[in-house]
Structure 1
């Protein structure tokens, strides 16, 4: 049984590393901000979750699982939030090609809110 769990954890680490690699390549290769944000959040977070799952399977210890669960939860909470903030700022700076947007929900809110300090 230990050998099977070791092989499963090895496969999970390999898949997670490949997903993180594709995220890094996507950040370098994609041209516009929305595509880069997609590459920075989706495969990177999934790759990190798979690597954490592989670590938990490999070490087979409850303290390790208790340590990895908050890491995964914090990553799941912060990655979409940071991508949203970067995308919104790129929209305000004008670095997003507005003609390529299918729906422009921020068209009426291009000015900075009074409490934003700008």
Structure 2
């Protein structure tokens, strides 16, 4: 078995694992019952799945130009997925759609109970 065949086999395995992680994320969004668990399912396996698929693409095409294109894609995904999950979770908390009894620590309670300062 030569190096090209080994790299192609590794790329196929990475694509399969990445696709399964993205599928698990999609199923988690549909099946999980509350916002925090849905956010967990939407961010963690999806980002890891994308990283594995991008790694497989880089291994398969074996080009530095492709790697230079995929690195910003992964970095942008790593930057935006936690930020969007944070914003959705905070809005769900403000709307009252999160079961507050299930929270271990409620660090936002004070900010919700304290009215904003008037006049700046």
State the TM-score bracket (shorter-chain normalisation): over 0.9
Determine which of 73, 79, 97 is the counterpart of 2:81.
79
TM value normalised by structure 1:
0.94
User: Which of 24, 28, 33 matches 1:26?
Assistant: 28
| 1:110 CA drift (Å) | 1.2
Structure 2: where are the runs of 5+ without partners? none
Gaps of 5+ in 1: none
Distance 2:116 2:97 in 1: 19
* 4+ runs deviating over 3 angstroms: 111-114
- Secondary structure at 1:110's aligned position in 2? helix
Instruction: Find the structure with the greater CA-based Rg.
Output: 2
How does 1:107-118 map onto structure 2 within 5 Å? 107-110=109-112
Aligned residues: 114
Alignment of 1:59-98 (within 5 A): 59-98=61-100
- Residue-by-residue CA offset, 1:84-117 (whole Å, 9 max, x unaligned): 0000000000000000000000011116857xxx
Shift in Å, 1:26 = 0.2
RMSD over aligned CA atoms reads: 1.2
Q: Does 2:77 match 1:50?
A: no
The corresponding residue for 2:11 is 9
